[in-house]
Structure 1
Amino acid sequence: MKGTKSKPSGELDTGLNRKILAKINRESSSVIFIDGAGTIVGTDEKLWDRFPYLTVVKMYKKLKSGEKSVAEFEDGGRILKLTGKPFDDGIYLIEIEDITTQRCIEDFKKKIVSTVSHELKTPLTIIKGYSELLAMEMESEILEKMNVQIERIINIVESIGLLMRGQGKELVEIDVETVIEELSSQFLDRITSKGLKFNREIESGLTVKAEKILFRQMLINLIDNAVKFTESGEIGVKAWRDKDTVVIEVYDTGKGIPESIKPFIFEKFVKSDESPGLGIGLSLVKTIAKHHNWEVTFQSASEKGTRFFVKIPVNS
């Protein structure tokens, strides 16, 4: 039409966009659109007026810098999770998720593990006492080894109990190569009995700050999984420094992780049908990594094997 300037194909009128977004804001309880000033589109209300929490303000500030951001808070007895991300020029999308049930389940699982850890400690301490009495009566290399392993189990149980309660022990400087070599001797018999090759490529001089018992247990779980699900070929552990990060990789040439459980592999009690375990090993790996502010990822392909990567900031 003469005198009317049309917009390029694919570009919508801003006013029309805002009317649509305002209607979505009125009708939806799961998403909110805000503008660059933090105002909920179609209203005079700021996001932090509707959700008056400091974590929401911090989320908005991070969102303004162009980053995806998240805020979690309790509101009227419910736990809400807000995820914000850029949507359009000067407009941001806020997704609202009620995670109350999920958080309750997580807390319940933590209580179970914490209770079990506490209940296990007493009988283990008694067993250790009897074992030490036997060792006083007779000299035996087997008894000495048994005492060392019982003490290790007690420490693991205690550390896991603290971990589940959100507490922890002191972080210490750990020589990565020394720990991996100690664990290698622990797994060597199982590995050789299956006819597998065991490769280690550890950069010399690597150290990390961690709770030693938890660091060891994380590696034990990863190596144990590799041995458990590999019938031929090899397993291996690599460790190297990549700029300001220490990377530890545990890999195998086993069955791989089924596609159906990949998205949930770090959840408690998730396991393949073939797994003889309870499905808590990798969940514990993730929990230990999160406890230290580390990152754990994986790559896996059917019948080609799996690779787990733990990324540890040097100054963590």
Structure 2
Amino acid sequence: MALTLSNVSMSGMQILGNTENIPYVQLGNVVFQQPLYLLLFIPLFILLVIIIRRDFLKDHAVYKRNRKRRFFVFVMRTVVLILLVLALASPATQHVEQTEGLLTLAVLVDNSTSMRVLDSNQYQNLITKLKESDVPLTVHYISSGDTTSLGDAILKQVEPDQNMLLISDGQNNAGSNLEDVSVFVSGLNSSINAVKLLEVEDDVGVSVSGPTKVVSDVEQTFEVSATKVGSFPTRPRLEITLDDEKIYDDVYTETVRLPLTFKEGTHVLHARVIPGGRDLFPENNEYYHIIKVIPRPRVLFVSKKSSP
């Protein structure tokens, strides 16, 4: 959880706050995550003094003889009280370790066809300015055509303690998973930064996700999603057919989830999106999902007892 330092400072004690406005108290390297419990010191200490000083014995001679013992009990209970309140305040220690990174920058430029929807002059000007700076710079052009493998490109170029700048539209349709790659890169103490570019073209596409091999008469869920880049005057329309039979036809607003069951054989789930304006890549407007349906397996149940 990110912490931000406030302007309050008293006797080496710092008051910290997080994004949820819950206060933290730091004393040296120790941070109290529940500092409100520290306020219990005052009332509990007063209550402890009252209990210790109260005369429960009618024999004053016995009371005076036990004065040292009562003082010892008072000290021990005070120590226990302090430890209990500190435990409730959830103390934790902070350890900050700073590792020097490489003073270099590796720029990965996505060169796939889908980058045509973005303003190329914008990132070309950025690369030119970076080359004019004092930071050592290397530029690598990755991917081509309709295939974009951002994860594989990052794995190929990454080094320990490296800074990487990714210029891409974020469409990753091949190779390694980006989430897995990011975990691996962070383990190398390297960083990946991305540049948000302006869109100069409009494009819409559709995709279908779901199993390609299912068992007959068992319900399966398929998801149909449309992606939109740029601004369209009207929402795109989505049509879905199963084996040439239309099962969905409406204006697209969110991912469509289809619970379907199939008979044995091969079936085709076809999704088609109709853009509400100019479309840069019309080949992205249709998606065919082939589903192979196998017969339900027969199970032999063997038991010592007979069954009806």
Shorter-chain TM-score tier: under 0.3
Structure with more of its chain in helix, by fraction: 1
Greater RCO, CA 8 A, separation 6+: 2
TM-score (normalizing by structure 1): 0.20
| Bigger Rg, which one | 2
TM-score (normalizing by structure 2): 0.21
Structure with more of its chain in strand, by fraction: 2
